[in-house]
Amino acid sequence: MKNIVELFLGILTAMGGFVEVGELVFSVDAGAKFGFRLLWVVALGTLGITVFCEMAGRVAAVKGQPVFNLIRERAGLNAGLVTLVAANLVNLLTCTAEIGGIALVWQLLSGWPYRWLALGALGFLLLVVWVLSFQWIERVFGLLGLLMCTYLAAAYYLRPNWGEVAAGFVPGVPHLESSSEYLLFAYFAVAILSSVMLPYETYFYASGAMEDGWNPGDVNLNRVIAIVGSVLGSVLAVALVVCGAQVFRPHQIEPQLPGEAALAASLTLGRWGLLAAVGGMFFAFAGAAIETSLSGAYNLAQFLGWPWGKYRPARTAARFSLTWIITFVLAALIIMTGVDPVSVVEYSIVFSVVILPFTYFPVLVIAGDRRVMGEEHANGWFANAVGWFYLGIVTLAALLAVPLLIVTRGGKG
Amino acid sequence: MRAHEFQYMEVLTESGRFLGHVFDLRSRGEPEYGEPHDARTVHEIVYGRLGLFERLGITQAEPQTIPWKAVKAIRDGKLIVDDSVGERNRG
Amino acid sequence: MKDEFLDLVRQVLDHEVVDSNNLPCGMVDDLEVSGGPGGELRVTALLVGAGAWTRRLPSGFEGLAAFIFGRQQTRVPWSEVETVTERVKLRSRAEELGLGGADRKAAKILEKVPGSG
Amino acid sequence: MHKRARSWGNWLAPAIILLILGAGVASFAGPGQSQGDKHSLKNDVSELKSRAGTGRLVAEQALAGNLTRNFVEAQAEQMRKGVAQTRDKLTPEQFGPELSAQVLQAADLARRLEGALNSLRGAGADRQAAESARKNLAGLFEELSRLEEDLKE
């Protein structure tokens, strides 16, 4: 019984914690620009993040080693350090985007000035992470993030042509007017892939497995949570694409802000739908902000051998605690300089995919290493084949991301 | 010296033939499990060639070993080994 | 699974170090090697701390990393090593070996905040 | 067989550094400094058009009673900020002289859009304000759509 509860909670929190500000913005915008034609990329990314999280979680459960411990061990000091610095800069950027998102969302509820709300968000996040245990953070933000399911209902009531939705899952490129449109399509494909496969999710997932004290007996639990959690999380992404396609595409509007996405909910579900959507976005962004800042601290601590973990009192994991505190503070400061939150979101998504192969690769190598994982827990031929396939996919996406950002002028076409 | 200085050190025979790069320092006897040792003696040098695929990590370099006794000198950051080793480990 | 040998770079260098209470207390940032050609080559100690790993960086980055992380380094004699698995476990507690000092310093700051313990 | 995964270490470090440096430099230097052309003017105009369209949607939803007062005010303000950013870019110096007429037209529309979004802020509480903002924004949407069509090659 306890196991079933744990499984259920794990799946729900994985689902609720799946969407963050970049995924929201890009999914709705992708729907507005290309209808359902990018849904297959959501599916591709979902299988990718499932494979990646499953491997990282399995290695964490079997060997008790989280991602950056492996990176240091396998890539050596120099390459590992570069990966660490890059990964943590991207974490900081993502955390910044989330705090910006929280401030925007709070503004929608309160009407107060944006910068003060960013400061308030900082205070809120510091307090919550300081006070709550890891399990409660997961539950509160994962479960309340399920308010995002409002978009699921909205997508349903928007009455899309389900046949066309299904056709969107068939990989392909639509017929477009000009070459710049094709480049834009490619840019959105890369961005959607990145937003589904954000690397911090994996660091956090593997470290979280250790926070929860998983052991080799939890390999099956890991598999189920990784698969079902990511798939359900992606259903939300699909719903967002559908909302974009149904609400904004007919009007030739390209939405950019969280509040615009919320209109999809108000349109179908009225005022309460609006409030639920805004609330869901708040918990989803706050959850992601917490995950990114903790990931930054996990990564650094695991690379340098510091005691880490929310399960330890802050005093016994002091440098770890200081690291996440500093990450929050830096992120909030960046927002308070007045940078455009929409651009921060965009850069966070693009740079995430650039570093993805470098954190993916060591996990893939270790998970496939019979000598390290043992016959029983190493990748089978299927996991290996899928794993290497995705290494190719994410490498391609990483190589294309920045050139596409430039030629499409930041997704403007 | 420090272990990191050996990493990727070039391995040459006395007559100047290039054999590969140092990968590892191997000590005989199983890894510590409860019984303390004052130190670990390095018995063998593990070395091999680093081709493009090995550098990418796609294939694993075929490692070879040389007994430490065959190491004659460390000169200009290069490991100089007995000529006979190069002959024996060829091919 | 058991090896009949120990590869010091692959199995020890850059692995996590934990003390007798399993508290992480750094990484094997380098190994002290004594002896040389013509004699025995022996690994005599683990070197733990930024002072040890910053020296392994390309020359341009050494100074920068040392500026951020400091140059502190602790020598842990090999005789302290209890087991070598994915991590290197030591026979004593971190404080006794002079490890984890920076964490204790950082803890001084956090102790003032309620809820830190 | 021994795994030597470490060996990719010395190749990987420079690769990542290059990739990230290249990415950083390119993304900040690249789009920022290029002189605007017809295509980028079209992009700016379609961005303005999107904001006008969303504004109209907000006004409609406000009239339907689906939005809260704070939501309308904050959403209008957030969109106005974005429009102001775009408007700052719309000066004839930023574009070639052959586009100056269209640039001035776009800048004018942007200014009017800012004004319309400003009056949208009060639309959460005031039906009349909402109705006039809706008309205003719908008109701007049409004008911006026409300008966008003109700019398409």
Could you read off the pLDDT of A234-266 as tens digits, one per residue?
Answer: 999 999 999 999 999 999 999 999 999 999 999
Residue B61 has pLDDT above 80, yes or no: no
For the stretch B28-66, what's the b/e string if a residue is b when 16 or more beta carbons lie within 10 angstroms of its beta carbon?
eeebbeeeeeebbbbbbbbbbebeeebbebeeebebbbb
- Residue carrying the six token digits 């599916």: A43
Other CB atoms within a 10 A radius of the CB of residue A230 amount to 28
- Residue carrying the six token digits 């993304």: D27
Shortest CB distance from D78 goes to which of A259, A271, A401?
A259
Q: Show which residues on chain C lie within 8 Å of chain D, measured between beta carbons.
A: 7, 9-10
> Considering the domain boundaries, does residue B71 fall inside one?
yes
Residue C38 has pLDDT above 50, yes or no: yes
Q: Show which residues on chain D lie within 8 Å of chain C, measured between beta carbons.
A: 2-4, 6
> Considering the domain boundaries, does residue C3 fall inside one?
no
Note the pLDDT tens digit of each residue in D119-133: 999 998 899 999 999
Residue type, A384: N
Q: Mutating which of A315, A319, A329 best tests the C interface, going by the most C Cβ atoms within 10 A?
A: A315
Residue type, A311: Y
Angle at A312 between CA A310 and CA A317, to 5 degrees: 90
ipTM value, please give it: 0.88
**Residue D23 Cα, gap to closest chain C Cα (Å):** 20
D5: confidence class by pLDDT, cuts 50, 70, 90: very low
Show Cβ contacts of residue D88 under 8 Å, excluding neighbours closer than 6 positions.
none
Q: Chain D residues with CB inside 8 Å of C10's CB?
A: 2-4, 6
- Residue carrying the six token digits 């399990």: A135
Domains for chain A: give ranges and CATH numbers.
2-407 (1.20.1740.10)
A 37-96: CB under 8 A from D: 74-83, 86
Show Cβ contacts of residue C109 under 8 Å, excluding neighbours closer than 6 positions.
A318, A322
- Segments forming the whole domain that contains residue C13: 8-110
- The domain spans of chain D are 34-152
Instruction: Decide if B31 touches A, using CB distance below 8 A.
Output: no
Query: What is the C-alpha to C-alpha distance for residues D36 and D34, in angstroms, rounded to an integer?
Result: 6
| pLDDT for the residue D33 | 45
Q: Mutating which of A62, A68, A73 best tests the C interface, going by the most C Cβ atoms within 10 A?
A: A73
C91 CB-contact burial (10 Å; exposed 0-12 / middle 13-18 / buried 19+) = middle
Instruction: Decide if A252 touches D, using CB distance below 8 A.
Output: yes
Query: What is the C-alpha to C-alpha distance for residues C52 and B40, in angstroms, rounded to an integer?
Result: 20
CATH number at residue C62: 2.30.30.240
Share of chain C above pLDDT 70, in %: 97
Helix A381-407 with A341-367: angle, nearest 10 deg: 150
Quick one: CA torsion of B37, B38, B43, B45, rounded to 10 degrees? 100
Q: Please give the mean pLDDT across all residues of chain A.
A: 93
Residue A287 has pLDDT above 90, yes or no: yes
Phi, psi of A195 (to 5 degrees): -70, -30
Quick one: CA torsion of D120, D123, D128, D131, rounded to 10 degrees? 60
Query: What is the C-alpha to C-alpha distance for residues A91 and A292, in angstroms, rounded to an integer?
Result: 5
Phi, psi of A199 (to 5 degrees): -65, -30
CATH number at residue B74: 2.30.30.240
Query: What is the C-alpha to C-alpha distance for residues A35 and A41, in angstroms, rounded to an integer?
Result: 13
Domain count, chain C: 1
The answer to whether the beta carbons of residues B48 and B24 sit under 8 Å apart is no
Instruction: Decide if A2 touches D, using CB distance below 8 A.
Output: no
**Residue D15 Cα, gap to closest chain B Cα (Å):** 11
This prediction has a pTM of 0.93
Query: What is the C-alpha to C-alpha distance for residues C36 and C87, in angstroms, rounded to an integer?
Result: 28
B59: confidence class by pLDDT, cuts 50, 70, 90: low
> Considering the domain boundaries, does residue B17 fall inside one?
yes
Share of chain A above pLDDT 90, in %: 79
Average pLDDT over residues B55-64: 62
| pLDDT for the residue A295 | 96
| pLDDT for the residue A329 | 98
Q: Mutating which of A252, A344, A356, A365 best tests the D interface, going by the most D Cβ atoms within 10 A?
A: A252
C84:B28 CB<8 A? no
- Reading the block at residue C102, the tokens are 């920076």
Query: What is the C-alpha to C-alpha distance for residues C112 and B28, in angstroms, rounded to an integer?
Result: 50
C36:B72 CB<8 A? no
Is the dihedral angle over the CA atoms A301, A305, A307, A308 positive or is it negative?
positive
> Considering the domain boundaries, does residue B7 fall inside one?
yes
Find, in chain C, the residue whose alpha carbon is nearest to that of A302.
C16
Number of helical H runs and strand E runs in chain D: 5, 0
| pLDDT for the residue D2 | 37
Instruction: Decide if C86 touches B, using CB distance below 8 A.
Output: no
More confident residue, A385 or C58: A385
Average pLDDT over residues D46-51: 96
Find, in chain C, the residue whose alpha carbon is nearest to that of A321.
C110
A 70-109: CB under 8 A from C: 72-73, 76-78, 80-81
Residue B53 has pLDDT above 80, yes or no: no
**Residue C28 Cα, gap to closest chain A Cα (Å):** 9
Note the pLDDT tens digit of each residue in C62-80: 888 999 999 999 999 999 9
- Give me Rg for the CA atoms of chain B: 14
Note the pLDDT tens digit of each residue in A311-369: 999 999 999 999 999 999 999 999 999 999 999 999 999 999 999 998 898 889 889 88
Shortest CB distance from A365 goes to which of B4, B7, B57?
B57
| pLDDT for the residue D31 | 52
Which pairs count as long-range contacts for B50-53, CB under 8 Å and 24+ apart, including other chains?
B50/B8, B50/B20, B50/B21, B50/D7
Residue D6 has pLDDT above 50, yes or no: no
Query: What is the C-alpha to C-alpha distance for residues D9 and A75, in angstroms, rounded to an integer?
Result: 5
Q: Chain C residues with CB inside 8 Å of B25's CB?
A: 7-9, 33, 41, 43
What is the bridge-based pairing of β-strands B10-13 and B78-81?
parallel
Q: Mutating which of D41, D71, D141, D153 best tests the A interface, going by the most A Cβ atoms within 10 A?
A: D71
Other CB atoms within a 10 A radius of the CB of residue C100 amount to 26
CATH for D34-152 is 1.20.120
C9:B40 CB<8 A? no
The answer to whether the beta carbons of residues A347 and A96 sit under 8 Å apart is no
For the stretch D123-151, what's the b/e string if a residue is b when 16 or more beta carbons lie within 10 angstroms of its beta carbon?
bbeeeebbebbbebbbebbebbbebbeeb
Domain count, chain B: 1
| pLDDT for the residue A406 | 87
> Considering the domain boundaries, does residue C1 fall inside one?
no
Find, in chain D, the residue whose alpha carbon is nearest to that of B65.
D2
Q: Chain C residues with CB inside 8 Å of B36's CB?
A: 79-82, 91
A155: confidence class by pLDDT, cuts 50, 70, 90: very high
3-state secondary structure D19-36: HHHHHHHHHHHHHHHCCE
- Segments forming the whole domain that contains residue B47: 3-27+41-88
A259:D71 CB<8 A? yes
Other CB atoms within a 10 A radius of the CB of residue C67 amount to 10
Average pLDDT over residues D36-62: 93
Residue A6 has pLDDT above 80, yes or no: no
Q: Count the residues in chain B.
A: 91
Q: Chain C residues with CB inside 8 Å of A78's CB?
A: 56-58
Return the DSSP state at A114. H
Q: Chain D residues with CB inside 8 Å of C7's CB?
A: 2
